[in-house]
Structure 1
Amino acid sequence: MSEPTPVAELGYPEALAELESILDRLEHDEPDVDRVATDVTRAAELVQHCRGRISAARVKVEEVVGGLTPEAADPEADGS
């Protein structure tokens, strides 16, 4: 079995797909006791990574939306 891609190198869709795969395996397959700890550790890393990506995206969206304030709403924009 090859080494998994480091979590930091995964995009959000890849991390989420891997997390869903791990959860599906834990929920539906006969648990392999030798693999459970590894799966749970990897799942925790993936959750943390996904949360970080979501937080970063939220900050970026807030920055972009904050810059969209219409000048017409600014009382100083009309020169009065």
Structure 2
Amino acid sequence: MDTEYTYEGAFQELQSIVADIESGQINVDDLTAKIQRAASLIAVCRAKLTSSEAEVEKLLIKLHQADEGEPKQVDEEE
């Protein structure tokens, strides 16, 4: 794709395409192009979600490692 999309931008355009298709007002000649565009946008959304998931995993691992390095507080019973 020639343009960098945000997840939100790609998702909004995808929703618009779906609404157009569901309306039944698209001619057959335009339908193929709309479906191809939708497939590209789905790929963008999937890639962004996968990337975000990987970043969250890295952050969780770092947090877990940081927690293991700190001394644990023990609640003393009276």
User: Normalization by structure 2: what TM-score?
Assistant: 0.79
Structure 1 pair 66–20 and aligned structure 2 pair: CA distance change class (3 A): same
Q: Which runs of 4+ in 1 moved over 3 A?
A: none
Give the greater-gyration-radius structure (CA): 2
Q: Which has the higher helix share?
A: 2
Structure 1 pair 18–24 and aligned structure 2 pair: CA distance change class (3 A): same
Q: Distance in 1 between matches of 2:38 and 2:55?
A: 26
Over the matched positions of the two proteins, sequence identity in percent amounts to 28
Structure 1 pair 68–62 and aligned structure 2 pair: CA distance change class (3 A): same
Please provide the CA RMSD for this pair: 1.9
User: Normalization by structure 1: what TM-score?
Assistant: 0.77
Structure 1 pair 22–52 and aligned structure 2 pair: CA distance change class (3 A): same
Q: 1:77 maps to what in 2?
A: none
Q: How many residue pairs align between the two structures?
A: 69
Q: Which runs of 5+ in 2 are unaligned?
A: 73-78
Q: Which runs of 5+ in 1 are unaligned?
A: 1-5, 75-80
